[in-house]
Amino acid sequence: MQYIKDYTIKDVQDVYDGPGGLLWEAVMSEEIHSGGPATTDFLANKLGLQKGLNVCDICSALGAPARHIAAKYGVMVKGVDATKTMLEKARQRTKDAKLENMIEYFEANAMDLPFKKDTFDIVWGQEAWCYVSDKNRLIQEAYRVLKPGGKMGFSDWIITGKISPQELDPLYDSMAFPYMETFKGYQELLKKNGFKLIEALDQTDEFAKCFDEYSETVNVKLKPTILQNFGQDLFSFASNLVAIWQKAAHEHKVGRGLYIAQK
Ligand SMILES: C[S@@+](CC[C@H](N)C(=O)[O-])C[C@H]1O[C@@H](n2cnc3c(N)ncnc32)[C@H](O)[C@@H]1O
């Protein structure tokens, strides 16, 4: 039985409209996912991104991956996010990068995409679907907006080992996650909703190493800045968050999964 908490999109918006968004950018970089731009290139290569393809980035946040793939691979991107502050920053930074002719952002819930069926060559997602309260619905939406033969590639924070609800509780509370899929769970969801699964990678070891870096970043490099700008409470929160995820990742209980599938 899946352990589910009642975090909603409103809780996620509160995180990313508030200091949480700034903190995540400071710790993880403008591409708010573990491994940074290198993991974006990894996913881009797995999907064979090339000039002119239409990409839908579900949960596009600050738009840094959208700008990265538009500038480097020549793809046209539509980013979807539910948080106003992230969308405002994404639009401004995209304008500053002179990429607004290649990228457009939409305010919407990932479970209800504002696009017609068979619109995109590629559906893309990086480390955000863990916030979505109905991942079956999200996968259905992704399938609907993909063209027949189109590919979906995404990475996400997932459950990769044996872990109890008691152990998941503080992890979910620290992030406002309703639940995480398991490594196998996503594979089943993809197949159940009509996708052909091409590849599923358990990248927990890399994920754990990223948390070693985040621990150093939060507790040493950024400590004075976090204390000065956000205060002791947020510093303690961030330090504890990194510690519990670092431990669970090294125990191979939680980690990162990467999936490539085709409609
Ligand atoms: C970790 S960030 C995403 C990082 C981004 N993919 C990247 O790699 O830079 C999480 C983002 O997901 C968005 N988000 C979470 N749940 C969502 C939902 N149900 N619908 C749309 N956006 C959502 C948040 O607003 C936030 O901007």
- pLDDT, mean of residues 88-107: 98
- Is 88 within the bounds of a domain? yes
> pLDDT category, 29, cuts 50, 70, 90?
very high
Identify the H or E element spanning 196: strand 196-202
- Is 156 within the bounds of a domain? yes
Supply the CATH number for residue 99's domain.
3.40.50.150
- Is 105 within the bounds of a domain? yes
Report pLDDT for 2: 87
> Number of folded domains in the chain?
1
H runs (alpha helix) in the chain: 9-17, 19-28, 36-47, 64-73, 84-96, 135-145, 165-175, 183-192, 204-216, 223-230, 232-250
Q: How far apart are CA 233 and CA 244, in angstroms?
A: 17
Q: Does residue 1 carry a pLDDT above 80? A: no
Residue 9 beta carbon below 6 angstroms from any ligand 1 atom? yes
Which residues form the domain of 41? 9-164+178-207+254-262
Q: Does residue 250 carry a pLDDT above 80? A: yes
Report pLDDT for 203: 98
- Is 110 within the bounds of a domain? yes
User: Which of 5, 167, 151, 9 is CA-nearest to residue 86?
Assistant: 9
Q: How far apart are CA 253 and CA 171, in angstroms?
A: 11
Residue 61 beta carbon below 6 angstroms from any ligand 1 atom? yes
60 CA distance to ligand 1 middle (Å): 6
Token digits of residue 51: 């000039």
- Is 199 within the bounds of a domain? yes
Residue 132 beta carbon below 6 angstroms from any ligand 1 atom? yes
Which residue from 8, 9, 12 has its CB within 8 A of the most atoms of ligand 1, so it is best to mutate?
12
- pLDDT, mean of residues 25-49: 97
For residue 214, which phi and psi values (nearest 5 degrees)? -65, -35
Closest-lying ligand 1 atom to the alpha carbon of residue 125? 6
- Is 53 within the bounds of a domain? yes
- Is 170 within the bounds of a domain? no
AA letter at 237: F
- Is 239 within the bounds of a domain? no
Which residue's CA is the closest to the ligand 1 atom numbered 15? 131
What percent of the chain is predicted at pLDDT more than 90? 98
Residue 110 beta carbon below 6 angstroms from any ligand 1 atom? yes
Residue 66 beta carbon below 6 angstroms from any ligand 1 atom? no
DSSP string, 170-181: HHHHHHT-S---
> pLDDT category, 218, cuts 50, 70, 90?
very high
Mean pLDDT of the chain: 97
pTM over cut 0.85:
yes
Which residue's CA is the closest to the ligand 1 atom numbered 1? 128
216 CA distance to ligand 1 middle (Å): 25
First to last CA, the chain: 28
Closest-lying ligand 1 atom to the alpha carbon of residue 133? 19
Q: Does residue 64 carry a pLDDT above 80? A: yes
Cβ neighbours of 233 (radius 10 Å):
8
pLDDT digits (tens, 9 = 90+) for 99-150: 999 999 999 999 999 999 999 999 999 999 999 999 999 999 999 999 999 9
Report pLDDT for 179: 98
Report pLDDT for 168: 98
Q: How far apart are CA 94 and CA 163, in angstroms?
A: 40
Q: Does residue 153 carry a pLDDT above 80? A: yes
63 CA distance to ligand 1 middle (Å): 10
For residue 101, which phi and psi values (nearest 5 degrees)? -80, -10
